[in-house]
Every structure is written in C-alpha cells, then in structure tokens.
A and B are shown apart, each in its own frame.
Chain A
Amino acid sequence: MVNIRLRSVSCFFGFLVIFLLTSPAATAAAGQATSSATAGKPWWFWPIVLFFFCLVLGVLAVMAGVGGGVLYVPLVSGFFPFHIDFVRGVGLMVALAGALAAGPGLLRRNLANLRLALPVALVASTCSILGALLGLYLSSLNPNIIQACLGITIVGIALLLLFSKNTEKPVVTNQDAIGLALGLRGAYWDDGARESVEWKTHRTALGLCLFILVGLLAGMFGLGAGWANVPVLNLLMGVPLKVSVATSKFLLSITDTSAAWIYMNRGCVIPLIGVPSIVGLMLGSLIGVKILAIAKPKIIRYMVIIVLLFAGLKAMDKGFGLGLLG
C-alpha cells in the first residue's frame, strides 16, 4: 500500500519536472528569441503560466530542500521572455518572502540562532549590496556576461548539492577566539533523539570570510544563498545540520533584504511578474510541506539537481551565444 503511494507520488513529481520542461514557457523559450516569444499572446498569458510554474517550483524546492530563489532565477530566466534584470529582482523578493515566512517558526523553536546569524548576516548583507551593484553594472554592459556567470554558478551549485555530504552533529573540540568572543554557541532540543544538543563553532574567521563570497553571489545573481550558507555553517564552522539549515533560512531574510532594496530602487521589480511569482512559490511551498510526509525526497532531490544542471547549461549556452540548447 505504502509502495503504491510512494510510486504514485514519484510519478507525480516526474510529471512536475516534465511540466517544468514542457510548459508553454519552455516551449516558447526553446523555439525563439525572447522578444518574439511574447508576440501574439495576450498580456495575461505569461503571469498565469508564471503562477503555475512557480507553484510547481515551490513544491519541488521544499521536496529537494533548496530555496525557491536558486530554482527561480535560472529557470525563469531560461524559459520566460523576461530580461535577466527583472528575473533577479523578483528572484530576490521570492527568496525574501519565503525566508521571512519561515523565520518566526524557526526562531520560536530556537533552531535559528540569532547569536550565530547576526555577525554572519552583517558580512553577507553588506557584500550582497556590492554583488547587486556589480551584477546590475555588468548587466548594463552586456546581459550575456551575467547569463554566462549565472550558468557557471548554477552548474557549480548543482554539483555542490550532488557531492556535499553534510554532517548531522559535527564534533568541535576547541572553539576559536572569535567564536568564543562572540559567544557563538547554543543548544537545541532534538526531537528524534530525545536529547538536547549543545554546539559551538570553530574556524569562525574563515567562515566569515566565505560569507563575503556568499553575499556577493546572492546579490549579483538574485539567488537566495541557502545552498552556500548550509555547507559553510555545517561543514566549515561545525554547526549542527538542523541549526545550520534553520539559521541559513533566517539569514536569507537579512542578506536578501539588502540586495532586494538595490534591485527594487533600480526598478527591477515589476508587479505583473513579481506578485504571481511570490504567491505561486509560497503556495507551492505549503503544498510541498504536506506532500513531504509521503514522498521520497531523495529522488526529488536528484530530479531537481538534473533540472538545475540543465538550467545552468542553458544559461551558459545563452550567455556564450552558442545556441546549442535552443
């Protein structure tokens, strides 16, 4: 009985991925240049398609354990006729809305740790401003530069998701001086093991330095940076996986805020694109959480990694002007 349910859920997700790749947006993008893709379609066509596309993305993002932004930017810029400036601006708003909505629950359960988040957020959010300015400057020179760099980054993220092996409870024997001075330690209740887990950080200086890069990439490409936050917090700084994931989600609400303001002030957030994206992804995330209980997240994760690889290669293809992938 359970097997039949699992199989049908797996089939459902197979259909979702196929929908992503065969939706009118994908078909339009594969066939022609973006400007002509809009011709002959009424104005309401693209927002409606975008809403359902984002609904599916929201479901897949939860199932694969990635943020909405990292799927949104490469896929929407690859398959929809919007300029990369608007996709990045809205992508940041999408990631921001998701992170803000998740924040209260994570803070109340003491999974997202303010002490850990605050210093890291200061570094990442400052650098995400620089990343946003750099991204907008490069895009004004030639949008293909951003497309190509985005493609390379997305392929890198897909490989990172494929090969990184996070540690549930890393062992930290000696806390470094910075971690000690900032009091970067805490405890949380592990429901599964029925015990409290105490943690502290190490290699804090190196971790903070890496958040400079994380902030730059988040701002430059409009990606939520959960894919980078978690490995740095968990693998490098020795924070338990649950705290890393929760603090990372909370961190996005701060990092993405600063970059989102830069894009919004430049006029990169068009309501006609922004609202269906935010609402679609949030609804999709709610549906995804419900389905998570019966689905096999591992299969979905691999499907999403394949989709990301494809989207990254497509962005590279577009950026370098090769025309191999349509």
Chain B
Amino acid sequence: MSNQNDEALKPTREQFIYANLLIIGVWAGIAILFITYAIYLFGLLPPHVKISVIPSVWAKGVNEFLEITHSPHGWGWVSLLTKGDFLNYIGFVLLALMTILCYLVLVRGYIRQKNWIFATIAILEIVVLSLAASGIFGGGGH
C-alpha cells in the first residue's frame, strides 16, 4: 500500500492545464448557448429561417432542409451571425473547438519533455480534428 500523496498518483502538469482550460471553455460554451438561444427565441435578432417554418421541414433530410431554408453549410454560418438562429453556432463551435485548443497545450508540454511519440500523436490528432472542422469532408451539403 502506498501513500495517497505519492507523486505517481498525481496528474501531470499538462493534465491540470488541460482540465482548467476545458472547464472554462465548456461552461463558457454552455452559457453562450443559453444566452444566444434566449436571443433567438425572444426574437431579439431576426432569424434567417422563421421559427414557425422549422417544424414543417425538420422531418426532411438535411440536403432538402438546406435547400428549402436557403441555409448555408460548412462555415457559411459566419456570414449570418447577425441572425438569431445562426448566432447559436458560436456556442456549438466553442464546444467543438475546445479539444483542439487543449491539444495545443499538450503538444507544447510533450515537446518540452522531448516525448516525441506523444508529441506526434497529439499533432496528428490536431490535424485530424482540424480537417474535420475545416469543412473539407463535411461541407458538401447539396
């Protein structure tokens, strides 16, 4: 039986930084989602697609939905940030970006430790997530 304060049982510095960054990002993301959804529901900013129209098209496939509502795919939402519905994407995107941001911290730590195997794994993960986020694979809506 070893001591609870044993160094081997403690998380690494990178693990702590990762956790701290994550907690800020997640709760900021949730708070933003909450606020932007209220703006959307109360009509403080006009939506791109009228709320009352959405129930008539949410049973259709995504390609048809985008065509009928003239909604963008990929990063096209950025140009519609003044619209109440697309404002909500800020929260979604922040949540989806958190892992990439946290991995940047890990890469720095592994390079400092000269742990090249894990630095490479972390860099590859950033490449994979960035490619997914870029819209190269997922942007072709119709």
Contact = CB atoms under 8 A, between A and B. Distances in A.
Interface of A: 34-35, 38, 41, 43, 46, 81-83, 85-86, 89, 93, 96-97, 100-101, 103-105, 107-110, 114-115, 118-119, 121-122, 125-126, 129, 132-133, 136, 139-140, 143, 181-182, 187-189, 194-196, 253-254, 257-275, 278-279, 282
Contact of A83 (B33, B37, B62): B62
A186 B136 CA distance: 38
Nearest to A129: B132
B129 interface: yes
Given A258-B129, A271-B40, A108 B55 contact: no
Contacts of A196: 1-4, 6, 8-9
B20 interface: yes
A118 B122 CA distance: 7
Contact of A261 (B34, B55, B63, B96): B96
A107 B2 CA distance: 21
A107 B30 contact: no
A96 B95 contact: yes
A181 B6 CA distance: 24
A270 B65 CA distance: 10
Contacts of B73: 265-267
B43 interface: no
Given A107-B18, A122-B121, A254-B125, A262 B59 contact: no
A129 B93 CA distance: 17
Given A107-B15, A118-B122, A257-B96, A266 B128 contact: no
B54 interface: yes
Contacts of A270: 54, 58
Interface string B48-71: 000110111011111101100001
Given A100-B26, A118-B118, A38 B95 contact: no
Interface string B114-140: 000110011011001101110101111
Contacts, number: 211
Nearest to A118: B121
Given A82-B59, A110-B11, A265-B74, A195 B139 contact: no
Contacts of B131: 129
A128 to B, nearest CB: 9
Interface of B: 1-4, 6, 8-12, 14-16, 18-20, 22-23, 25-27, 29-30, 33-34, 36-37, 40, 51-52, 54-56, 58-63, 65-66, 71-75, 85, 88-89, 91-93, 95-96, 98-100, 106, 117-118, 121-122, 124-125, 128-129, 131-133, 135, 137-141
Given A38-B55, A97-B26, A196-B9, A258 B132 contact: yes
Contact of B117 (A34, A181, A195): A181
A122 B58 CA distance: 33
A261 B8 contact: no
Given A38-B56, A267-B141, A257 B99 contact: yes
B92 A107 contact: no
A262 B11 contact: no
Contacts of B124: 122
Complex A-B, nearest 4 residue pairs according to Cβ-Cβ distance, in ascending order: A265-B138, A271-B88, A262-B138, A104-B19
Contacts of B62: 83, 85-86, 89, 136, 266-268
Given A34-B59, A108-B16, A279-B33, A83 B65 contact: yes
B30 to A, nearest CB: 7
Residue of A103, A126, A189, A265 with most chain B CB atoms under a 10 A cut-off: A265
B9 A188 contact: yes
Contact of B61 (A139, A258, A259): A139
Contacts of B140: 266
B63 A83 contact: no
A275 B88 contact: yes
B128 A122 contact: yes
Given A82-B59, A118-B125, A271-B88, A129 B137 contact: yes
